[in-house]
Amino acid sequence: MSKQFVENITNMEDDFAQWYTDVVRKAKLVDYSSVRGSMIIRPYGYQIWENIKIELDKRIKETGHENVYMPLFIPESLLQKEKDHIEGFAPEVAWVTHGGEEELQERLCVRPTSEVLFGEHYKNIIHSYRDLPKLYNQWSNVVRWEKTTRPFLRTLEFLWQEGHTCHETEEEAIEETEKMLDVYSKICEEFLAIPVIKGKKTDQEKFAGATFTYTVESLMHDGKALQTATSHFLGDGFAKAFGIEFLDRNGELQNVQQTSWGFTTRVIGAMIMVHGDNRGLVLPPKVAPTQVMILPIAQHKEGVLDHAYSIKNRLSSIARVGIDSSDKQPGWKFNEYEMLGVPLRLEVGPRDIEKEQVVLVRRDTGDKFTVSLEELETKIEETLSQIQANLYKKAKERMTEKTTSVTNLEDFQNVLQEGNQLIKAMWCGNSACENIIKEKTGATSRCIPFNQESISAQCVCCNHQVQHMVYWAKAY
Amino acid sequence: MSKQFVENITNMEDDFAQWYTDVVRKAKLVDYSSVRGSMIIRPYGYQIWENIKIELDKRIKETGHENVYMPLFIPESLLQKEKDHIEGFAPEVAWVTHGGEEELQERLCVRPTSEVLFGEHYKNIIHSYRDLPKLYNQWSNVVRWEKTTRPFLRTLEFLWQEGHTCHETEEEAIEETEKMLDVYSKICEEFLAIPVIKGKKTDQEKFAGATFTYTVESLMHDGKALQTATSHFLGDGFAKAFGIEFLDRNGELQNVQQTSWGFTTRVIGAMIMVHGDNRGLVLPPKVAPTQVMILPIAQHKEGVLDHAYSIKNRLSSIARVGIDSSDKQPGWKFNEYEMLGVPLRLEVGPRDIEKEQVVLVRRDTGDKFTVSLEELETKIEETLSQIQANLYKKAKERMTEKTTSVTNLEDFQNVLQEGNQLIKAMWCGNSACENIIKEKTGATSRCIPFNQESISAQCVCCNHQVQHMVYWAKAY
Ligand SMILES: [Zn+2]
Ligand SMILES: [Zn+2]
């Protein structure tokens, strides 16, 4: 197809950041506004979020959780009740100081997360072990006053779900923390075709106010890592700060054990950077707003359009199907739907009608092949599954390729100087070493993976006895 | 059933406002928080909102609209671009003045509605008639700094959808305004069983910045009216303020014609006040989170629980079915699910098992009857339809009963002194008369109904020549 039709996006090898910006704009996912650091999520981007939301909401409900809605504003005094929490969040919240014409007696912050609101509510509604567990979730917008922002990856405001649960025992709460991390890792791998590493954050990287934080980390095309979702075991820190107490089975007063966990619009950024290529977006079929785009060829010829629409109707029960019968040139259309990442293109023209066939073109591989009308449904379903599986496989292979084990800081630095990637290295457990590594290599600890390996007996930084194998990387 | 089980709620005849507060709390719809004027929407309340949202979202998409997401914050300078709009909203917005530790150069308001954000975006993406119409919708939270608040009816923050569209011509935009009012009136009548009056707001009551506002008004149990949803024709006011221009079919530059329309969590308050009674909430089956609640009787007896659960499984494909097999007393359960407004109670005990029957009890009428297991599905579906229809019918009859036509101000005052209701009266079109009526009777103009009648030849207030028949009432 002729060069003139190709949308002008930067090659990812030349400038990955610019490639990303080009894709989110040219694929019409977002637009900017005069609100610094905030994004407009356009219809195509929002449909992707809706598809993710429907799937995740189903899985959250299947695991026994109920949705609620908490206020947007948090009085300053309420936010200050948990010491670590306020220390972590104070530098990045937006403050409301005036309502209408009047100055408020107490500032309200726009929620950066809702632990304290749930804490206050739980104190009101939990009294006995019979009231437990409480398994609540909320879909909402939150605000964090970020200096540098990028669409989906880091914005002043983002959309997410935040789960907040209360339990009788520590064991049960930790089990919940693990269960929800599993829900996240599965939706990443099964639905978004993003391979993840499951593990625990180091103390330095954990959530402000948590006992510990579990995370799913993924690797982008450029070798940088991205924290895709987190699940926190809060212990009884918030429960003590907010006085969430219950009479246990022995009639004794105890604090509840809590968890919280969140999944955000950030994952759309991850999906773009894991699957995208130099032709634009590449969407896994399960999340794609349009799975099959029908392009009638020589559509002015008699019968072509009718035939194309009848195929659309025929396929509408097995896939999300679109059709472009505008008078734009075929070359323009090919490129447009490649830019939008539509998994499968279906071309049908007079010759295909004659031969009782259609032409299918895969977005992920570019493979082009004909399919007889007779086996159309089977082949479409089969091909969409293959695309979904192939995207996951390719991303998994890339992650394996871009992971290197190192045993000393010099190798660590050298490997990263050749190009960003995941580093596996042993760590003594001391945060001083984390800081040195960050300073010397730019990489941060991504997680202590659940799947531990022994690479060497000594910390990659200080040579002292090791505690854990850790994944390190430069990160978004 | 014995008195001791009855939850203590105020009689609506004694104190309607207190009855309302009791119901929203005892039916676990909302809870209060330390955030003044904001509400926590609890799982049961949120499920109701989710059911409404799913149905309305489907209807909004079926009429060709796409969902997007705009920022939460609006820079002060952007809000000020449309003069009438800022005048209307300035007194009731919350202002963010600080981000993290720093004071902002320009204040940001928390969106009270998003016309100006859409305006700015539309200017960017609309250039030609080929880009029109743009039919966007957004599900979001908005904030209005209200002095006096009540759960659902008037809160600092509420949830809603706001549609914002752009069109080539005035005719097309007005058609859209009407179409969306129809979507609202239908979801009220068909889904929420709330009868509505469709009409136009007077100039004094229209949306700040609109050319005119259409409304659906409904009548509460206590004879007060509630504006249930509105649809605005904006003309080209925002388009001029924001420079939203397009090249029309003749190659000439024009401003787009716009609409906006919104439907909020307020409707839950309407539903409570239209259908509720002295036993609590009454939910129309279509919106009820649980449509049938199964209560096993003498559940400790062998086979009862198994049988009850098998009925639950059997019914789960035709209705949303719950079961309460807790060890609480039957009397407590009866009252609890009446309080929660569950449309249908299904009792099944040893004697029913023997007779191959169940007992059904309708929430709306209290009717109790047995149904053979053989015709269980048919009867449940039939009864749920009957309840849905009956709730609408009862509300419609009440509205007819509580509507009085008057031809002079004295009658107007006398009628309202006997009790709140809808007043039909002729009006000259002069806002001075609206103000006098409000002052003397407490009633405001609710709408100029599309279905006009001629009650008299003279304005109910000034005796001048009439322009319209108007519905008046005290309103929420
Ligand atoms: Zn070390
Ligand atoms: Zn008059």
Q: Do A42 and B68 touch (CB under 8 A)?
A: yes
Residues of chain B scoring pLDDT < 70: 1-7
Q: Do A140 and B141 touch (CB under 8 A)?
A: yes
CA distance B92 to A349: 59
Which DSSP letter does residue A111 get?
P
HSE value, Cβ hemisphere, 13 Å, CA-based, for A125? 25
Provide the token pair at B102.
Answer: 């720093």
- CATH number of the domain to which B451 belongs: 3.30.110.30
Chain B interface mutation, best of A50, A69, A149, highest count of B Cβ atoms under 10 Å: A69
Same domain, A259 and A328: no
Peptide bond into B133 cis (omega under 30): yes
Q: Does A298 touch chain B (CB under 8 A)?
A: no
- pLDDT on residue A5: 47
Contacts of B203 (CB under 8 A, 6+ apart): B212, B431
Tell whether A3 is covered by a domain: no
CA distance B313 to B369: 22
Tell whether A217 is covered by a domain: yes
pLDDT tier for residue A7 given thresholds of 50, 70 and 90: low
Same domain, B320 and B262: no
Same domain, A85 and A193: yes
Q: Do A108 and B75 touch (CB under 8 A)?
A: no
Residues of A in contact with B156 (CB under 8 A): 71, 73
| Residues forming beta bridges with residue A396, ordered by sequence position | none
Element at B399 (helix H, strand E): helix B376-401
Out of A242, A275, A308, pick the residue that ends a domain.
A275
Residues of A in contact with B324 (CB under 8 A): none
pLDDT tier for residue A473 given thresholds of 50, 70 and 90: very high
Tell whether A353 is covered by a domain: yes
Residue B9: count other Cβ atoms within 10 Å of its Cβ: 20
**The pLDDT of residue A2 is above 50:** no
Q: Do B140 and A143 touch (CB under 8 A)?
A: no
Let me know if A303 is exposed, middle or buried by CB neighbors in 10 A (0-12, 13-18, 19+): exposed
Tell whether A389 is covered by a domain: no
- CATH number of the domain to which B140 belongs: 3.30.930.10
Closest chain B C-alpha to A290 CA, distance in angstroms: 14
Tell whether B2 is covered by a domain: no
Q: Does A359 touch chain B (CB under 8 A)?
A: no
Residues of A in contact with B151 (CB under 8 A): none
Contacts of B395 (CB under 8 A, 6+ apart): B193, B194, B195, B219, B274, B275
Same domain, A334 and A302: yes
Q: What's the whole-number average pLDDT of chain A?
A: 96
Q: Does B69 touch chain A (CB under 8 A)?
A: yes
Sort strands A134-143 and A66-67 into parallel, antiparallel or unpaired. parallel
Residue A107: count other Cβ atoms within 10 Å of its Cβ: 19
Provide the token pair at A453.
Answer: 């390996």
- pLDDT on residue B2: 40
How many distinct structural domains can be found in chain B?
3
User: What range defines the domain where residue A84 resides?
Assistant: 16-275
Same domain, B196 and B121: yes
Same domain, B264 and B329: no
Q: Report the percentage of chain B scoring pLDDT > 70.
A: 99
Same domain, A158 and A36: yes
What is the value of pTM for the model shown? 0.96
CA distance A434 to A92: 24
Same domain, B120 and B266: yes
Q: Do A31 and B125 touch (CB under 8 A)?
A: yes
Closest chain B C-alpha to A253 CA, distance in angstroms: 24
Same domain, A202 and A132: yes
Q: Which residue has the tokens 């209705």?
A: B319
CA distance B155 to B146: 7
Residues of B in contact with A117 (CB under 8 A): 33, 35, 40
Same domain, A271 and A297: no
Q: Give distance in angstroms: CA of A273 to centre of ligand 1.
A: 32
Q: Give distance in angstroms: CA of A473 to centre of ligand 1.
A: 17
CA distance B316 to A408: 61
Same domain, A254 and A188: yes
Q: Identify whether the C-beta of residue A357 lies closer than 8 Å to the C-beta of residue A330.
A: no
pLDDT tier for residue A87 given thresholds of 50, 70 and 90: confident
CA distance A261 to A177: 8
Tell whether A283 is covered by a domain: no
Tell whether B181 is covered by a domain: yes
CA distance B203 to B431: 8
CB nearest to B121's CB, from A33, A70, A120: A33
Q: What is the predicted ipTM?
A: 0.95
To 5 degrees, how large is the angle CA A334–CA A335–CA A341? 95
Ligand nearest to the CA of B431: 2
Provide the token pair at A445.
Answer: 């600890």
- CATH number of the domain to which B346 belongs: 3.40.50.800
Same domain, A226 and A271: yes
Which residue, among A351, A343, A298, has the nearest Cα to A322 in the 3D structure? Answer: A343
Residue B335: count other Cβ atoms within 10 Å of its Cβ: 18
> What are the distances in angstroms from CA B383 to CA B373, B386, B394?
15, 5, 16
Q: Does A406 touch chain B (CB under 8 A)?
A: no
Amino acid at B172: E
Count how many pairs of residues, chain A against chain B, have C-beta atoms within 8 Å: 153
- pLDDT on residue A84: 85
Backbone angles phi, psi at A234, to 5 degrees: -95, -10
Residues of A in contact with B92 (CB under 8 A): 100
Ligand nearest to the CA of A429: 1
Chain-centre distance for alpha carbon B260: 17
CB nearest to A43's CB, from B68, B92, B117: B68
Tell whether B56 is covered by a domain: yes
Which residue, among A333, A289, A339, has the nearest Cα to A25 in the 3D structure? Answer: A339
- pLDDT on residue B4: 45
To 5 degrees, how large is the angle CA B117–CA B122–CA B124? 105
Residue B306: count other Cβ atoms within 10 Å of its Cβ: 11
pLDDT digits (tens, 9 = 90+) for B272-322: 999 999 999 999 999 999 999 999 999 999 999 999 999 999 999 999 999
> Which residues lie near ion ligand 2 (Cβ < 5 Å)?
B 428, 430, 433, 459, 461-462
pLDDT digits (tens, 9 = 90+) for A187-201: 999 999 999 999 999
Q: Do B72 and A34 touch (CB under 8 A)?
A: no
Provide the token pair at A403.
Answer: 């992971």
CA distance B300 to A195: 50
Contacts of A377 (CB under 8 A, 6+ apart): A314, A315, A318
Q: Give distance in angstroms: CA of B449 to centre of ligand 2.
A: 17
Which residue, among B382, B384, B185, has the nearest Cα to B284 in the 3D structure? Answer: B384
DSSP states along B245-292 = EEE-TTS-EEE-EEEEEEEETHHHHHHHHHH-BTTB----TTT-S-SE
